[in-house]
Amino acid sequence: MKLLIIEDEKDLSENIESYLTGEGNICESCYDLKSAMDKVAMYQYDCVLLDIGLPDGEGFTILNYLKANHKNDGVLILSARNSIDDRVMGLNNGADDYLVKPFHLSELKARVEAIYRRKTFNGDKFLHYEQITIDLISKEVIVNNLPIDLTRKEYALLLYLIANKGKRISRNAIAEHLWGDEIDMADNFDFIYTHVKNLRKKLFDVTKKDFIKSVYGVGYKFL
Amino acid sequence: MKLAAHYNKASIIITLSVLIIGGLIYYYAIRYIATNQLDRDLTEEIDEVKDYINLHGQLPKQVDFDEDQTNFTPTNLKTIPRRFFDTTYYNDKEKRAEAGRAVEGIITFNKINYKVTISESKESTEYLIQLVLLITVLLVVILLTVLFITNRLILKGLWKPFYKLLLQLQAFDISNQAEMTINQTKVDEFNELNTVIQQMTKKAKTDFQYVKSFTENASHEMMTPLAVVTSKLDTLIQDEGLNAKQLTQITNIYSYINRLSRLNQSLLLLVKIDNNLIKDEELIDLKVALLDKIQQFNELIQGKNLKLTTHFEDKSIYVSKYLVDILLNNLFSNAIKHNYEGGVIDIELMYNELIIKNTGEKLPLMHENLFARFYKGKQSEGTGLGLTLVKNICDHYKYRLSYHYFNDKHEMIISF
Segments forming the whole domain that contains residue B13: 3-142
Question: Residue B135 — pLDDT band, cuts 50, 70, 90?
Answer: confident
d(CA B287, CA B291): 6
Question: Residue A184 — pLDDT band, cuts 50, 70, 90?
Answer: low
Record: contact B224-A170, CB cut-off 8 A = no
Q: How far is B379 from chain A (nearest CA, A)?
A: 15
**Are residues B288 and B370 part of one domain?**
yes
| Per-residue pLDDT, B285 | 93
**Are residues B111 and B214 part of one domain?**
no
B229-259 pLDDT, tens per residue? 999 999 999 998 999 899 999 988 988 888 8
pLDDT at B178 over 50: yes
Q: What percent of chain B has pLDDT over 90?
A: 18
**Are residues B285 and B260 part of one domain?**
no
Q: How far is A166 from chain B (nearest CA, A)?
A: 9
Q: How far is A15 from chain B (nearest CA, A)?
A: 6
pLDDT at A182 over 60: no
CB-neighbour burial class of residue B233 (10 A; exposed 0-12, middle 13-18, buried 19+): buried
Across chain A, what does the average pLDDT equal? 87
Q: Of the segments A5-14, A110-119, A145-154, which one has the largest average pLDDT value?
A: A5-14
pLDDT at A48 over 70: yes
d(CA B330, CA B370): 14
- Whether B106 maps to a domain, the answer reads yes
- Whether B155 maps to a domain, the answer reads no
The more confident residue out of A85 and A43 is A43
Across chain B, what does the average pLDDT equal? 84
Judging contacts by C-beta atoms under 8 Å, the chain A residues touching residue B221 are 80
| Per-residue pLDDT, B382 | 66
Record: contact B231-A176, CB cut-off 8 A = no
Question: Residue A179 — pLDDT band, cuts 50, 70, 90?
Answer: confident
Per-residue pLDDT, averaged over A173-185, amounts to 76
Domain containing residue B286: CATH number:
3.30.565.10
**Are residues B10 and B122 part of one domain?**
yes
CA atoms within 13 Å, Cβ hemisphere of A198: 16
Domain containing residue B253: CATH number:
1.10.287
B148-162 pLDDT, tens per residue? 888 888 878 888 888
CATH 3.40.50.2300 in chain A: give the residue spans. 2-120
pLDDT at A148 over 50: yes
Judging contacts by C-beta atoms under 8 Å, the chain A residues touching residue B252 are none
Q: How far is B243 from chain A (nearest CA, A)?
A: 8
Question: Residue B62 — pLDDT band, cuts 50, 70, 90?
Answer: low
**CA distances (Å), B163 to each of A210, B155, B156, B187, B196, in order?**
79, 12, 10, 14, 16
Residue of chain B whose alpha carbon sits nearest to that of A81: B220
**Are residues B244 and B356 part of one domain?**
no
Question: Residue B56 — pLDDT band, cuts 50, 70, 90?
Answer: confident
The domain defined by A2-120 carries CATH number 1.10.3300.10: no
Pairing mode of beta strands A74-79, B112-121:
unpaired
CATH number for the A126-222 domain, one of 1.10.10.10, 3.20.20.70, 3.30.420.40, 3.40.50.300?
1.10.10.10
Record: contact A184-B383, CB cut-off 8 A = yes
**Conformation bin of residue A118: beta by default, left when phi > 0, alpha when psi is -120 to 50:** alpha
Question: Residue B353 — pLDDT band, cuts 50, 70, 90?
Answer: very high
Judging contacts by C-beta atoms under 8 Å, the chain B residues touching residue A92 are none
B278-325 pLDDT, tens per residue? 777 899 999 999 998 898 888 888 888 899 999 999 999 999 888 898
φ and ψ at residue B186, rounded to 5 degrees:
-85, -10
φ and ψ at residue A218, rounded to 5 degrees:
-130, -45
Record: contact A172-B235, CB cut-off 8 A = no
Helices (H) and strands (E) in chain B, counts: 8, 11
ipTM above 0.85, yes or no: yes
Record: contact B220-A81, CB cut-off 8 A = yes
Count CB atoms within 10 A of the CB of residue A213.
11
**Are residues B231 and B322 part of one domain?**
no
Question: Residue A186 — pLDDT band, cuts 50, 70, 90?
Answer: very low
Residue at which a domain ends, from B73, B108, B142: B142
Record: contact B231-A187, CB cut-off 8 A = no
**Are residues B350 and B266 part of one domain?**
no
Domain count, chain B: 3
The more confident residue out of B167 and A120 is B167
From A105, A176, A182, residue closest to B329, measured CB to CB: A182
| Per-residue pLDDT, A105 | 94
d(CA B193, CA B191): 5
A100 at the B interface (CB within 8 A)?
A: yes
| Per-residue pLDDT, B47 | 85
Judging contacts by C-beta atoms under 8 Å, the chain A residues touching residue B229 are 102
Give the residue from A92, A101, A153 with the most B CB atoms within 10 Å of its CB, the best one to mutate: A101
- Whether B68 maps to a domain, the answer reads yes
Three-class SS state of B249: helix
| Per-residue pLDDT, B210 | 83
Record: contact A12-B300, CB cut-off 8 A = no
pLDDT at A127 over 80: yes
CATH 1.10.10.10 in chain A: give the residue spans. 126-222
**Are residues B363 and B285 part of one domain?**
yes
Angle at B192 between CA B189 and CA B198, to 5 degrees: 140
CB-neighbour burial class of residue B32 (10 A; exposed 0-12, middle 13-18, buried 19+): exposed
| Per-residue pLDDT, A20 | 92
A155 at the B interface (CB within 8 A)?
A: no
d(CA B162, CA A52): 52
